[in-house]
Chains A and B, each alone.
Chain A
Amino acid sequence: MTDVHIHIHEKTHSNADSPTIENFVLNVNSGEFVCLVGQSGCGKTTLLNTIAGLDSNYSGICRIGNKTQNPKIGFVFQQPCLLPWRTVRENIELVFATSNLIPTARIDELLDLMQLTAYANAYPKQLSEGMKRRVSIIRAFAIKPDLLLMDEPFVSLDEPMARGVRFLLQHLWQQRPHTVLFVTHDLREAIGLADKLVFLTRHPMRVLKEVKVLIARENRHDVHAIENFREHLIQNYPELHLLL
């Protein structure tokens, strides 16, 4: 069980006068894929960093499963964040360095699912941007995280490449469901991936609206279905017009 409960009373950056996040409450069910949708600069990255424990300077609580301390978190950053001096395989294996037990079979399977088996021994420099994202996704899945955080992982990819990686991500997630928090400012991307959309305000950031996505998983690649759902959102939730 990895239900996630997040309640941030306040998070203020040290050089800002007003809080970035205030009274933010979010509950995520185990195995749910949640997309956080908000404008650029509204504090989404700050939120993920807070949840990941990279920034502990806030008041509130993040409970992941039954743990408030050291939950296993897979993080796919905006940049791939691979070590250039390690091969693809070494980059993935490094996250197990402290546990002394490297799940080679799982890594092989993930490489295969992400179509990177042939590049296992290549250095990141030899890979395209899309491949690097796939490696960082593998790394996040490989640790079997309690919670998977993804911070606009496709933002710097061109659209065809982003679509390819998105498709692989969906495929992978359906094989190995995890609780996911996926941050994006692209509504179509969010509708294509999420079980639940969470819309965010800015200055300070809090939850504006939660909407379940009612498109069957197998129809998520259908552009029309996504477009229709988007229209439906625009018509039924006027308060979201700024974000849509």
Chain B
Amino acid sequence: MTRSKYLPIVSIFTFLIFWFGLAAFLHSSLFPSPEVVARVLWQQCQSGELPYHLGVTLLRLVVSFTISMLLGCGIGIALGFNEKLNAFFDNWLIIFLNIPALVTIILCYVWFGLSESAAILAVILNKVPNVIVTLREGTRALDKDLLNMAKCYQFGRLETLCHVVLPQLHPFLMSATRSGLALIWKIILMVELLGRSNGMGYQLHLFFQWFDIASILAYTVAFVSVIQALEFLVLKPLDKQALKWR
């Protein structure tokens, strides 16, 4: 057991060594070694450029994620409870699920201008259907006996939601959150690349034009680290807290 604790670290080191070896063998500016990437990362941090663009992207992520989750949860739970509502919207849900992200982004920019709100709207439109589908399935799987109990003992709407419904939806909420973060940040980069003049996506676009692979990798490392930190510092403790009773 204790040995398997070290395996993730061993695997990262193996990866780094492999990367070093390959970079040394290829000896090309298009495949920089980890050392070069680390140096670029440090420089970008010191110049303040990376923190700024990363911050802008994260801010967009937080705003669009919050709105998508709230909207998606509300609509998803409503559709899960109400069969008629669901029958009315079901087709539209599938249509929105399948519209390519690029199409919504372009349409939002064309119709609403190259503005911040258009960018956020494009991200939300891409994410909300996923949340709705996940939460709808969760709501359908709710324990009918517990709902009957709540009704019989005259729980209010709020009590039923807080004490009976949401705890049962917890795994679905976490799954929507995790897949949501992964999906949203990929879409945000695209949104930034197509119509913003700051943020990670914009920067990556510049680096692409300059063939500056080291910078691209440095930004990637920074972003992945932030997402990992979010997982370990926010999501995992949330999971632990909510599942105490198990």
Residues facing A in B147-191 (CB within 8 A) are 148-149, 151-156, 159, 163-164, 167
Asked if B159 and A97 make an inter-chain contact with CB atoms under 8 angstroms apart, the answer reads: yes
Question: What are some 21 contacts across the A-B interface (CB < 8 A)?
Answer: A49-B148, A52-B152, A53-B152, A54-B151, A75-B152, A77-B145, A77-B149, A81-B145, A81-B146, A83-B146, A83-B164, A86-B245, A94-B163, A95-B154, A97-B159, A97-B163, A98-B156, A98-B159, A123-B245, A125-B245, A139-B153
Residues facing B in A3-56 (CB within 8 A) are 49, 52-54
Asked if B152 and A54 make an inter-chain contact with CB atoms under 8 angstroms apart, the answer reads: yes
Tell me the bound Cα distance from A94 to B164 in angstroms: 10
Partner pick for A75 among B146, B149, B167, B246, CB 8 A cutoff: B149
Interface size on A, residues (CB 8 A): 23
Write the residues of chain B forming the contact surface with A, with a CB cutoff of 8 angstroms. Answer: 145-146, 148-149, 151-156, 159, 163-164, 167, 242, 245-246
Asked if A70 and B154 make an inter-chain contact with CB atoms under 8 angstroms apart, the answer reads: yes
Minimum Cβ distance to chain B for residue A216 (Å): 33
Asked if A85 and B167 make an inter-chain contact with CB atoms under 8 angstroms apart, the answer reads: yes
Asked if B246 and A94 make an inter-chain contact with CB atoms under 8 angstroms apart, the answer reads: no
Asked if A95 and B153 make an inter-chain contact with CB atoms under 8 angstroms apart, the answer reads: yes
Q: Which residues of B contact A73 (CB under 8 A)?
A: 152
- Taken residue by residue from 201 to 213, chain A's Cβ proximity to chain B (1 for < 8 Å, 0 otherwise) reads as 0000000000000
Q: Which residues of B contact A84 (CB under 8 A)?
A: 245
Tell me the bound Cα distance from A81 to B153 in angstroms: 12
Tell me the bound Cα distance from A74 to B156 in angstroms: 16
Q: Which residues of A contact B163 (CB under 8 A)?
A: 83, 86, 94, 97
Partner pick for B148 among A54, A86, A125, CB 8 A cutoff: A54
Residues facing B in A101-139 (CB within 8 A) are 123, 125, 139
9 closest A-B pairs by CB: A81-B149, A95-B153, A85-B245, A75-B152, A123-B245, A85-B167, A97-B159, A98-B156, A52-B152
Asked if B148 and A98 make an inter-chain contact with CB atoms under 8 angstroms apart, the answer reads: no
Q: Which residues of A contact B155 (CB under 8 A)?
A: 94-95, 97-98
Tell me the bound Cα distance from A83 to B153 in angstroms: 13
| Apart from A94-B163, A95-B155: 17 A-B pairs, beta carbons within 8 A | A75-B153, A77-B149, A79-B145, A81-B146, A83-B146, A83-B163, A83-B164, A85-B167, A85-B245, A94-B159, A95-B153, A95-B154, A97-B155, A98-B156, A98-B159, A123-B245, A139-B153
Tell me the bound Cα distance from A84 to B245 in angstroms: 7
Asked if B167 and A77 make an inter-chain contact with CB atoms under 8 angstroms apart, the answer reads: no
Asked if B245 and A77 make an inter-chain contact with CB atoms under 8 angstroms apart, the answer reads: no
